[in-house]
Structure 1
Amino acid sequence: MENFLRGHVGAFECWGAVPRIALYDNLKSAVLERCGNAIRFHPTLLALAGHYRFEPRPVAVARGNEKGRVERAIRYVREAFFAGCAFADLDDLNAQAQAWCEGAAGARRCPEDASMTVAEAFAAERERLLARPETPFPTDELRAVSAGKTPYVRFDLNDYSIPHTHVRRTLTVLADPLRVRILDGENVIATHARSYDRRQQIECDAHLEALVAHKHAASAHRATDRLTAAVPTCQALLAQAAERGEPLGRTTRALTDLLDRYGADELGAAVDEALARGVPHPNAVRLALERRREAPPPLGVPLPAHLKTRDVTVRAHPLAGYDRLLEDDHDDA
C-alpha cells in the first residue's frame, strides 16, 4: 500500500500538478468492495484523494476497453525502455527513466493528435490540472512493534537495534524506502538505513557501546552490594578509597576475592585494622589477613574428665575430730 501511495506522490511531484480525476482498476488498494455502482473505497486512498483534492473513479468491471490505453502504455514502457536497460541501482534506474520520459518518450507523436508530440500535448493540458499542495501526503510505513528483553525490534524480517533503555516497550516504526526510524511516542530513538535482506541485524555502534557500559556498571554494583552486605565496614573503606582517587572497580574485585578466600569474619577484622591504620587499600587488608593467618590463636588442650578431678582443692580435716570419736566410744563402754 505504501508503494502504491508513493507512486501517486512521485507522479504529482514530477508533473507539478494533480489531475482532477484518477481512474483505477478494481484492485484492493483502491476498492475494498463493490456491488454494482455501490463502491467501498480503501480509506487510505480516500485520505490521499482528500489531500490532493482529486476524484478517484474505478472503471467498470470486465470492461477492458476503459483501460486499454493504460495497458498499451505499459507495453510501450516495457518494450521501449526496460528492454536491454542496464542500471547500477534504483537511483540510476530512476535517472534513466526520467531522461527517457523527457527525451524519446516525450518526443514521440501523440496517439490522438499526430500534429503534436506527447510533451506538447501534456504542456497544453497542464493548465487544466489542479495545484499541488505544499506538503506531500505521508507515505511512510507505520508499524507498532514490541521490544523484548534484547535491544532490538523486528521490522520486515530484519532486526534493528535500539537503546537498551527502551526494552520491554511497545514502539513505533516509520519506514521509507531509504531509512527506518524507531519512535517512542513522539521521540525518535533510533535511525537506520533500511535493509531489504532477510534475517539481518542492523546495529548502531552507539547502542552497543552504551549496552556494554551498562552491563559493566551493573556487574560492579552487584559486586559492591554483595561485599557491603557481608562486611558492612567495606562501605567506609570504599568511600575513603574513592576520596584518594583509587579505582573502585579494581578495589571491589580485590576485596571480593578476599571475601571468597577468607570469609566474612576474617575480612571484617582485616578491614577494621586497615581503617584504623588509615590505609584504605586492598593491599593493607591483604597484609592484615596474612598476619592473622601466620599468628594462629592459642588453642585449649582438652583433658579427660578423670584428670580434671586432680585440680580439685582438698582441704585437710582437723585431727581433733578423731579424738572426739574415740572419747564417744569410751563413754558407751
Structure 2
Amino acid sequence: MIDPATQAEILRLHFSEKKSQRAIAFDLELNRKTVVGVIRRRAVLDALSATTLRPSILQPFYDQIEQFLKNDPDRSAVNILQSLRLLGYTGGVSILKDYLRTCRPASEPKAFLSLEFLPGQTAQVDWGDFGDVFGIGRKVWCFVMVLCWSRLLYLEFTLSANFESFLRCHEHAFDFFGGVSHECWYDNLATAVAERRGRLVRFNPRFLVYTGTRGFRPIACNLAAGWEKGRVEDGVKYIKQNFWPGRSFADLDDLNEQALVWRDQFAGKRTHAATRKIPELSFQEEKSQLHPLREPYDCDEVRTMTVSPQFRVSFDSNEYSVPWRLVNTAVTLRANQNNVSIAYGNRCVASHDRCWKKNEAIKNLRHEDGLREEKPGAQPDADLQAIGSIGASAKQYLEFLPAQTHSLRSEIKRLMVLITVFGAEAVEAVMGKAIAGGVVGHAHLERWLDQSASIEKKPPPLTLNDSRLVLPHQTPDLRSYDSRLLEAEPSEEIQKEKAHS
C-alpha cells in the first residue's frame, strides 16, 4: 500500500488540478490501477486502517491470538499457526506475521551491567565452528579461552570437540597461562553441562572430576545470555575477522602453527579495544593470581573393545590393525590427538599415528607375520610346535594340558596371545614357575606376567640420607607437666636436671 502523503497528492491532482488518471500515474510513477483505487475511495488510509478495512480470513481468530501473546509474548508465528490450524484457520503464515507485527507487545529495552572481574578470577571458554576446511568430513573447531581481566587469549584448532579434546585444550591453555583461574564460565556445552532446568544446572560428572582436580569452579551462563560471556565471544569473532581471512593451510598442524605465531605476535600485543591496554602486559599483573598447575591430567580417549576377525579395532570412524594372534581378544585402546595405541593388559601390542580422515584402514604389515604361512586346518598343530619350541618348561607344561578340564583350543590360543604380547622368554619363565607351584592354566601365567610388568614400572624405593631425619627421639619428663597443672614451681630435682642437660 502507498503511503498517506502520496494518496493525498493523488486526490489533490485529480480533484483540484483536474488531471487525468493516466497523467497522475505518469507524474507519480505509479500503476494506473493504484491511482484509480485512491480516486474511487476518495479517502486517505494509513497502514493500520487499511488492514482493518480489508476483509481478513484471520479476523475470527484475533481474540485467540491475543490470548496466545498474553500467555507468551515471545511465541513464534509458526507455533501460533500450528495452534490456529486446530481451531480451523486455513490461511497462510504471511498474513499472520503481518498481524503479529501490529499487536505483539513491544519488548522493553534491557539494561546490562558491565561485568567486572578481579585478576586471576575468571576465564571464559567457548568453541568456534570453522567448517570442513580440509574436505575430510570433519569440522575444524577452534577452542578459545580468554582471561577476563587481562583479556589474554589462547586459541587451538582441533578436528574434534568431544569431551577428551575439550579437556586436552584446557590443559594446553592452562599450560600457556602458567596457572589456573579461580573459575571458568561456559555456555551450555554438552561436554560441560549434562542437564539444565532454568537456573538449576547439573554438570557432567566426568567434567566435575576434572574441575575438582584442577581446583577451579565451573559456572554455566544463563540461557540466551551471550553478553555474560561476551569476552570469549568477542575473542572468537576477533579470530574469525583478524586471523582467518586471506590464509591457506596445508593441514591441521600448519593451521595451529600459523595461529600460534599470530597469537604471540598480534593478538597478545595489540591494544585491546575495550580496555585500551595491551593484554600481554596486563597479564604480568594477573599471572601471580592464578592457581599453580599440578601434575599433568590424563586426557586420552580410552576404549575397551574386541579384536575383529580381520585383526583390527574400530575407533572414530577408522580401523587400526593389531597382531593377528589377538583375534577375538579384549584389548584397551588409548588415543590422543596424534597417536592411537592398543594394549593387552599392561603391555602395548600396537601403535599407530592417528588418522583424522574417515573410513580408513590403518595397517602395520608386521601384524600379519606368520599368518600367510598357516595352512587351513593345521593351525593347532603349528601352535603346539611353536609353544613347545620355546624351552624345556614349555614342553613339560604342554604335557599337563590334556588332563585339564579347560578347552585345549582356547588354552593354546591364549598361550599364543601371551607369547605375542609378552615374548617367548617371559612366558617360558612363568611356565616353569607354574609347574613348580603345581598349577596349570593361562590365567595363572597371565597374572604373573602382569605382576612382573608392573614391578618393572615401579620406581626404586625412596632413600633419605639427611642426618636430621634420624635423630633419636627424646622422651619428655612428665613431672614438668605435673608442676604446671599444680601451678607450682618445678622441684629442685627437675631444675638441677635441666641445668645439667
Q: TM-score higher than 0.5 here?
A: yes
Taking the aligned partners of 2:290 and 2:372, their CA distance within structure 1 comes to 57
Q: Call closer, same or farther: CA 1:124–1:213 in 2, change over 3 Å.
A: farther
Aligned match of 1:160: 320
Shift of 1:220: 10
Aligned match of 1:306: none
Shift of 1:40: 1.0
Aligned match of 1:294: none
Shift of 1:55: 0.7
Taking the aligned partners of 1:215 and 1:178, their CA distance within structure 2 comes to 38
Q: By percentage of residues, which structure has more helix?
A: 1
Does 2:282 align with 1:121? yes
Match for 1:7: what amino acid?
A: C
Unpaired segments of 5 or more residues in structure 1? 226-333
Q: Call closer, same or farther: CA 1:95–1:198 in 2, change over 3 Å.
A: closer
Residue aligned with 2:352, SS? strand
CA contact (8 A) 1:160 1:192 kept: yes
1:289-304 to 2 correspondence within 5 Å? none
Residue aligned with 1:88, SS? coil
Match for 1:160: what amino acid?
A: Y
Match for 2:352: what amino acid?
A: H
Does 2:350 align with 1:190? yes
Residue aligned with 1:103, SS? helix
Aligned match of 1:201: 361
Aligned match of 2:222: 60
Does 2:302 align with 1:151? no
Aligned match of 1:12: 174
Shift of 1:181: 0.7
Shift of 1:111: 3.6
Q: Whose Rg is larger?
A: 1
Q: Call closer, same or farther: CA 1:83–1:168 in 2, change over 3 Å.
A: same
Aligned match of 1:47: 209
Aligned match of 2:123: none
CA contact (8 A) 1:175 1:181 kept: yes
Taking the aligned partners of 1:215 and 1:120, their CA distance within structure 2 comes to 71
Taking the aligned partners of 1:215 and 1:12, their CA distance within structure 2 comes to 56
Taking the aligned partners of 1:218 and 1:100, their CA distance within structure 2 comes to 63
Match for 1:133: what amino acid?
A: R
Match of 2:184 among 14, 22, 44: 22
Taking the aligned partners of 2:334 and 2:304, their CA distance within structure 1 comes to 9
Aligned match of 2:465: none
Does 2:182 align with 1:33? no
Shift of 1:217: 10
Match for 1:68: what amino acid?
A: G
- Count of residue pairs the alignment pairs up: 222
Deviations 1:153-196 (A, max 9, x none): 11122221111221112222111111111112222111111112
Unpaired segments of 5 or more residues in structure 2? 1-162, 386-501
Does 2:268 align with 1:106? yes
Does 2:242 align with 1:80? yes
Match of 2:294 among 87, 110, 133: 133
Shift of 1:112: 4.1
Task: Give the TM-score normalised by the residue count of structure 1.
Answer: 0.62
- Give me the identity figure in percent: 35
CA contact (8 A) 1:110 1:121 kept: no
Shift of 1:150: 2.7
Shift of 1:58: 0.7
CA contact (8 A) 1:141 1:175 kept: yes
> RMSD between aligned alpha carbons?
2.4
